Structure 1
């Protein structure tokens, strides 16, 4: 006799069990504070060294692999065969232990890199004074502007303090549209002219048909249970004030009613926010319908195989809107959520899909999917300036050109004299005129 065991894991290799094994320990609060001070001191020391004009450092405390925006930017840099020197400084969590050598290496990178690129909250960098002729660029992991964040939440539960330094030292920040530039400037506490509406690199996937097909084929192998079924992706955001208190009220869903109504034709994938501490308790008899894919890092891949999306207040709706498919906003706790977390836009006018306030409405809408094409088109056109799949290319162009306006006049003429945009000569200090 033989026992066949099949694994539905989305990745056969866990980086934490390999090259990052020595880092899986956590630093205490006190040790993290000591290392923050040490990093500041080393940073000031390394600021005495020159900036390396071709150095790009990718920094994150929420991933150990090159994925999301980092992946698209890195691949484009490699495709162009640029002469940039690229380094990565990645950890799976803010609490993950950094050795003293790593702290010092990071301090040097932050002080001497021409570009430091972030994709998430990174508290180590916020107390630092960014050097002239260097850029700290936030490419952010989310798209669009939905629920308020950062300094837009001053005075609200879980909002920042007025004296907080978080986010304020970004010299550049990417957004998907000029229509939301003011929201990000407010949220990050930076000047509006530091916002770059070049598009979000990771959204390029939705315009790359060969890559989309390759991802679907890979997921068909990794998730064999989706074959022959309609796929529902459940991707809500967390409740609570932040990572430490994050949870999701799974009791709002009647899992049994959903199973009985849909299990013959559908599968139900749960992609729960990584901050959420509690997990749903699903009876074994539902195991042929409910599948937890929360450990899969790149949600955009899962969107490609989803026939319908269920979300609530998550920014995932922006990416899914690019697929022109039905989405349902399941929000039984909308009134309570609005009291603790406001939105940049009126929720009812904003959502590009139907609203379900209980499980019965959710089931009915899943069984009868609809798309309000006019509203969806207006939503996409407002939150995306360019629907061309070239956001990564525009960003790398900006890196190569030092974020100078490509339409501006050349800075120097043949005589080496600096020229202003209106054609006037800008004399150098103390330089003799020819």
Structure 2
């Protein structure tokens, strides 16, 4: 049975348990990948304030390396395989279900399914997919009581994608962005520990975060590897050496495995994978303050990075294909506030310009940031979600 059919079956089974009483002090967390993103940030907040809740993580991969680390750091927390009798039991019993991805839970009477999602609007999907791909996003309204986001403009974009009732949206911020602010002064120290180098030895620290092409249902491994390898050439590495810059690349895991051998031989380029972050129970946002410039394409990571009010370069050597197979949910020319080079020479020129004058395009970035964030440009998003949706204050 494939993944989609399994999720639909689980949803039907769970919908039969509507009359089972809910445990008011039980919170179930789920994320993709396991123990990550907005769910992880909210989990850490709830755990640290110690209000007496039973906390449970549902796992897609119960044998992953994160499980023993989770049990060691948070011994009171339960870990349960999602697709198991125990997993279904937890979903049936919990008053609160917190997720960052599609989870097939038809909310029972008195139950809250809190969708934190894994970013702000980026590429088109769901009802907006340019190729008409049908996926589980079409069921989001059925499986959500509260969808947490950051502004009215973002609400409108998500409504178009998922056709969720607008009354279900809660403008409270993204919990993972708390780490941008709380770890701002420590971010380079944290990054140095993760990479096992002293990043303070570089004059500039750049971050490249490309999206895996194209969508979760139309993956193109070769294109995803190719766009990363386009920066592993002599021309670009010489530019990094000349300005004494470190480039940190964080691609999809499959891409990371493919390019790792080439990056190992490059003195000014380092590969960042999920594993060292997960082992430390961090998200990329916890070290985002370490970077002077972000290089991305249409990944929603730039919408988080805008909170730092630092330069962003949108490197799109395959822009035509991206627009055809994914498309951009918000008007890209305006909502991507920065240079948009389509080759390495253009990227070098753009980076040189922003490094020389970080204030370039600053007003443009601030305008987009203010449209995306009516709420959430601080370190209080987890607190707001907790107080509003769990404590119901």
2:72 aligns to what? none
Once residues 335 and 11 of structure 2 are traced to their aligned partners in structure 1, the CA distance between those partners, rounded to angstroms, is: 43
Please give the secondary structure, in 1, of the residue aligned with 2:329: coil
- TM-score, structure 2 length as denominator? 0.81
Check if 1:272 corresponds to 2:251.
yes
Please give the secondary structure, in 2, of the residue aligned with 1:279: helix
Check if 1:147 corresponds to 2:123.
yes
Please give the secondary structure, in 1, of the residue aligned with 2:186: helix
User: Are residues 159 and 302 of structure 1, via their aligned partners in 2, closer, same or farther at CA, if it must alter by over 3 Å?
Assistant: farther
> CA offsets per residue over residues 336-382 of structure 1, 9 Å max, x none?
21122222222112212211121111111222214312111111111
Larger helix fraction of residues: 2
User: Are residues 290 and 401 of structure 1, via their aligned partners in 2, closer, same or farther at CA, if it must alter by over 3 Å?
Assistant: closer
Which runs of 5 or more structure 2 residues have no equivalent in the other structure?
66-78, 278-282
Measured after TM superposition, the shift of residue 197 of structure 1 is 1.0
Check if 1:399 corresponds to 2:375.
no
Measured after TM superposition, the shift of residue 384 of structure 1 is 0.6
Once residues 376 and 293 of structure 1 are traced to their aligned partners in structure 2, the CA distance between those partners, rounded to angstroms, is: 26
Matches within 5 A, 1:16-415: 29=1, 39=10, 43=14, 46-63=17-34, 65=35, 67-92=36-61, 103-122=84-103, 125=104, 128-142=105-119, 144-153=120-129, 156-157=130-131, 159-160=133-134, 164-165=138-139, 168-208=142-182, 211-223=183-195, 224-229=197-202, 230-242=204-216, 245-247=219-221, 248=224, 249-250=226-227, 252-253=230-231, 255-264=233-242, 265-274=244-253, 276=255, 279-280=258-259, 283=262, 286-295=265-274, 296-297=276-277, 298-369=283-354, 370=358, 371-386=360-375, 387-402=377-392
Q: Are the equivalent residues in 2 in contact too, given 1:216–1:305 (CA < 8 A)?
A: yes
Q: CA RMSD in A?
A: 3.2
Once residues 77 and 284 of structure 1 are traced to their aligned partners in structure 2, the CA distance between those partners, rounded to angstroms, is: 38
Measured after TM superposition, the shift of residue 188 of structure 1 is 2.5
Q: Are the equivalent residues in 2 in contact too, given 1:270–1:290 (CA < 8 A)?
A: yes
> CA offsets per residue over residues 247-291 of structure 1, 9 Å max, x none?
313354462210122224112211103465873376478421221
User: Are residues 320 and 34 of structure 1, via their aligned partners in 2, closer, same or farther at CA, if it must alter by over 3 Å?
Assistant: closer
> CA offsets per residue over residues 127-155 of structure 1, 9 Å max, x none?
x532121111110121x2232222222xx
Once residues 42 and 336 of structure 1 are traced to their aligned partners in structure 2, the CA distance between those partners, rounded to angstroms, is: 40
User: Are residues 274 and 136 of structure 1, via their aligned partners in 2, closer, same or farther at CA, if it must alter by over 3 Å?
Assistant: farther
Equivalences, count: 362
Larger Rg computed on CA atoms: 1
Q: Are the equivalent residues in 2 in contact too, given 1:136–1:169 (CA < 8 A)?
A: yes
Please give the secondary structure, in 2, of the residue aligned with 1:272: coil
Q: Are the equivalent residues in 1 in contact too, given 2:102–2:137 (CA < 8 A)?
A: no
Once residues 266 and 134 of structure 2 are traced to their aligned partners in structure 1, the CA distance between those partners, rounded to angstroms, is: 41
Greater relative CO, 1 or 2 (CA 8 Å, sep 6+) = 2
Please give the secondary structure, in 2, of the residue aligned with 1:345: coil
Identify which range, 157-166 or 354-363, moves more after superposition. Answer: 157-166
Q: Are the equivalent residues in 1 in contact too, given 2:157–2:330 (CA < 8 A)?
A: no
Once residues 382 and 35 of structure 1 are traced to their aligned partners in structure 2, the CA distance between those partners, rounded to angstroms, is: 38
User: Are residues 283 and 77 of structure 1, via their aligned partners in 2, closer, same or farther at CA, if it must alter by over 3 Å?
Assistant: closer
User: Are residues 167 and 59 of structure 1, via their aligned partners in 2, closer, same or farther at CA, if it must alter by over 3 Å?
Assistant: farther
User: Are residues 101 and 114 of structure 1, via their aligned partners in 2, closer, same or farther at CA, if it must alter by over 3 Å?
Assistant: closer
1:23 aligns to what? none
Which runs of 5 or more structure 1 residues have no equivalent in the other structure?
1-28, 407-434
